[in-house]
Structure 1
Amino acid sequence: MSTRQKKIRKTGRLIIPTIAIAFISYFGFHSINGDRGLNATQQFDVRKAQLEAELSSLKSERKLLQQQVKLLPTSGPVVRDMLDEKARQALNLSRPDEIVIFDYN
Structure 2
Amino acid sequence: MSTRQHRKSYLRPLIVPLVAVAFSGYFAWHGWHGSFGIEARRQLDREATRLAAELDAIHKERATIERRVALLRASSLESDMLDERAREILGFANANEVVVFAGGRKPVVKN
TM-score, scaled to structure 2: 0.69
Distance 1:18 1:43 in 2: 33
- Distance 1:51-1:77 versus aligned 2 partners, 3 A rule: closer
Distance 2:56 2:41 in 1: 22
Q: CA deviation at 1:38?
A: 2.5
1:58 aligns with 2:58: yes
Q: Give the aligned partner of residue 41 of structure 1.
A: 41
- Distance 1:65-1:30 versus aligned 2 partners, 3 A rule: same
CA RMSD of aligned residues (A): 2.5
Q: Name which of structure 1's ranges 76-85 and 15-24 shifts more when overlaid on structure 2.
A: 76-85
Q: CA deviation at 1:14?
A: 1.4
Distance 1:22 1:49 in 2: 37
- Distance 1:89-1:39 versus aligned 2 partners, 3 A rule: farther
User: What whole-Å deviation, never above 9, does each CA across 1:25-50 have from its counterpart, x for those lacking one?
Assistant: 11111122211222222222222222
1:83 aligns with 2:82: yes
Structure with higher strand content:
2
Q: Give the aligned partner of residue 16 of structure 2.
A: 16
TM-score, scaled to structure 1: 0.72
1:64-103 paired onto structure 2 within 5 Å: 64-74=64-74, 76=75, 78-96=77-95, 97-100=97-100
Q: CA deviation at 1:91?
A: 4.3
Identical residues among aligned pairs (%) = 37
User: Would you say the 8 A contact 1:94–1:100 is kept in 2?
Assistant: no
Instruction: Pick 1 or 2: higher relative contact order, CA cutoff 8 A, min separation 6.
Output: 2
User: Between Structure 1 and Structure 2, how many residues are aligned?
Assistant: 101
Structure 1 unaligned blocks of 5 or more: none
Structure 2 unaligned blocks of 5 or more: 103-111
